[in-house]
Amino acid sequence: MDRDLVERARRGDREAFTVLVHQVSDVLYSIAYRILRDPGLAEDALQNALVLAWRRIPKLRDPERFEAWIHRILVHACYDESQRARHWTATVRVLPIDGPSTPDGSDAVADRDELERAFRRLSIDQRAVFVLHHYLGLPLVEVAELLEIPAGTARSRLHYAIAGLRYALTGEPEPIVQEGRLA
Amino acid sequence: MTDDRSLERAARSWLEDGPAEAPDRAVEAALLQIQTTTQERDWHVPWRKRPMTQNARLLAGVAAIAILLVAGALLLRPGSNNGVGVSSPTTTASPSATPMASAAASPPAALSLSATFTSARHGYSVHYPSSWTVKDATKPWSAIGQNNWGSGINDELSSSRARFSGASQPLAKGQTADQWMTAYANGVATSSWATVTIGGQAGKITYDGGPAAGGTVAPGGVMFDAVAVVGGRAYNFNMDGIVDRKTFEAFLATVVFDPGSAFVVPPTTQPFTSPRHGYHISYPPNWRVQPATAPWPAGVAGASPPNPMLDVFTDPADPMRSFVILSQPLANGVTPDAWLATYEASAPSMPADCWPAPAQMERTTIDGQPAWIHGGLPICSFTEAISFAGGRVYELTSYFPLAGTPLPRDLFDALLTTVTFDPSAADDSPAASPRPS
């Protein structure tokens, strides 16, 4: 990331910020889509994150941390979008738990459908950790730092995310104790 | 796919499948919004501007006189420098005539007032430095003495060193400008106020550079206050921090009064009876209503529009904001307190300012029933009231874009006051033709 662009954006240079927006939008949208699993919500989250980033960039103390900083803003925008679209989470919550798929691993399409459905059953917190770790490739310590949560909490969220997915795909028992509160 | 490693591999592969490019429309919409969005340069605690009590005014007056006496002694002293003196004889009788020596730093030499702020609520515009933070008023100024800093009544334009605040209110029926000024003076002789020009109109300086009240944006700074009555509205402008009279007057000179554009709660005269949710309401006649066609299923998860379980009220001229209502029967054995507690726990990622514990929510009544209000801040994107009647829970919510302007609180309150609950008329039967949400 061009430090000079970030510095100029911090000083109120809209053109510099526009360049930054074009540099980061694709990654931000990719993350938002994968957390929210809805293109409309992901677009809204991206738009809100970019506007909020513009407003708050003067307070960004270390321009070198721009990417982590805007990723954090995006994840929080995803949280907000999921809350705003509570009808969607409500639908997720009241869905009956479908029986696990046959664990033969032979039907990739069926597996992907199951993954999609299973992922939608995870809390938004768990999804964020899962996406940042497995899609963006961030080590869990960096995920924790980005989300401003303890490393143990990030590890726990990832554990329950994987356990939830495993249950949906194999029928192995879901953990009894959920980390945190339901989103 | 029986072990975690193969599961994670499959999940990673599945994650890779999604889109990799942001839609242009989302990026362009953000950039368009950014063109008119001001950056936040500084956070400051929303302290209160404490109105001066009679004693405080007296003390300020005594302090001013003391300074004048010292200044006079210096002037009369042989060999004194006549360049040292007070600024203007017209200010000697004001509560505090001279900028106090306690100012922590020099005021800005010349601020560039390159941006224009137009008040959506108070009927004026003013120029200000483009780097300053803008905070729109969210509430009406109903009574003199209420428009403290941070109250939501003032429009507040600020940096870390200075703040310009503005508010207005209509004169009471039959009230003259002089009568309003007298009421504003709260016992101080208005004849002591210096005249100042505000947007080409004659106004009065009611506090002239004395120490700023508690809650100032820059402790140790000073404060100026001015009023004017234009077009049947009384306006109050205030500036605090590391500023001087010249700067205050520079802001005032750019004011354009437009009392006709001040926000007035529209009449809520159009009746509506919900076919689903068991209540009656009256709303502005130019608004549109989209009645719910589906029940609100059990649970605490509500909905934002569009959704068939919502009665949606919208001003066609303001489609980005909406007011929605839905209700559901409380499950057997679920008390309002228990429902609220579950509701509060359902949104752990929401900012606490938007989603506090029920005990911290604002309390009011709707149709005589207790109600809890939360949200209302731009970061919340909603203002919501929850109430219970006849074994049902009702949610009444105004939605607005994130970081946007909330529905005016007085309009939200006006809508609530027209609500009457009729829980026995609610229809919780399934939708005839459900549509995907």
Sign (positive or negative) of CA dihedral B145, B379, B288, B328: negative
Q: In a 3-state reduction of DSSP, which class is residue B106? A: coil
Instruction: Retrieve residue A74's tokens.
Output: 């995006």
Would you call B403 and A51 a contact, using CB atoms and an 8 Å cutoff?
A: yes
* pLDDT exceeds 50 at position B294: yes
Instruction: Retrieve residue B409's tokens.
Output: 């609180």
Q: How many CB atoms lie within 10 A of CB B250?
A: 17
- Quote the CA–CA distance of B111 and A12 in Å, as a whole number: 16
Would you call A58 and B39 a contact, using CB atoms and an 8 Å cutoff?
A: yes
Would you call A43 and B21 a contact, using CB atoms and an 8 Å cutoff?
A: no
Instruction: Spell out the CATH class of B270-425.
Output: alpha beta
- Quote the CA–CA distance of B242 and B111 in Å, as a whole number: 12
Residue ranges per structural domain of chain B: 54-67+86-261, 270-425
Fold adopted by A96-183: Arc Repressor Mutant, subunit A (1.10.10)
Instruction: Write the ipTM.
Output: 0.82
CA distance A30 to chain B (A): 5
- The pLDDT assigned to A107 comes to 52
* pLDDT exceeds 70 at position A89: no
- The pLDDT assigned to B217 comes to 87
Nearest to A165 among B7, B348, B399 (CB): B7
Average pLDDT value over all residues in chain A? 78
* pLDDT exceeds 70 at position B92: no
- The pLDDT assigned to A104 comes to 43
Would you call B346 and A58 a contact, using CB atoms and an 8 Å cutoff?
A: no
Read off the pLDDT of each residue in B234-248 and give the average, rounded to a whole number. 94
Task: Tell me if A17 sits within 8 A of B23, measured CB to CB.
Answer: no
- Quote the CA–CA distance of B250 and B429 in Å, as a whole number: 64
- The pLDDT assigned to A103 comes to 43
**Which range is least confidently modeled, A52-66, A161-175, B125-139?**
A161-175
pLDDT digits (tens, 9 = 90+) for B351-405: 778 888 888 889 999 999 999 999 888 778 889 999 999 999 999 999 987 767 7
Residues of chain A with CATH 1.10.10.10: 96-183
Phi, psi of A147 (to 5 degrees): -85, -5
Instruction: Spell out the CATH class of B54-67+86-261.
Output: alpha beta
pLDDT digits (tens, 9 = 90+) for B186-239: 777 788 889 999 999 999 999 888 887 767 888 878 899 999 999 999 999 999
Please name which of B145, B166, B144, B141 lies closest in space to residue B155, comparing C-alpha atoms. B166
In chain B, which residues have their Cβ closer than 8 Å to the Cβ of A47? 26, 29-30, 33
pLDDT digits (tens, 9 = 90+) for A115-149: 888 888 888 889 999 999 999 999 988 898 888 88
- The pLDDT assigned to B105 comes to 52
What does the H/E/C string look like for B163-213?
Answer: EEEEEEEECCCCCCHHHHHHHHHCCCCHHHCEEEEECCEEEEEEEEEEECC
Q: Do domains B54-67+86-261 and B270-425 have the same CATH topology?
A: yes
CATH number of the domain located at residue range(s) A1-94 in this protein: 1.10.1740.10
Sign (positive or negative) of CA dihedral B384, B385, B389, B393: positive
Best of B9, B16, B31, B353 to disrupt the A interface by mutation (most A CBs within 10 Å)?
B31
In chain B, which residues have their Cβ closer than 8 Å to the Cβ of A115? 10-11, 14
Would you call A79 and B350 a contact, using CB atoms and an 8 Å cutoff?
A: yes
Average pLDDT value over all residues in chain B? 81
% of chain B surpassing 90 pLDDT? 45
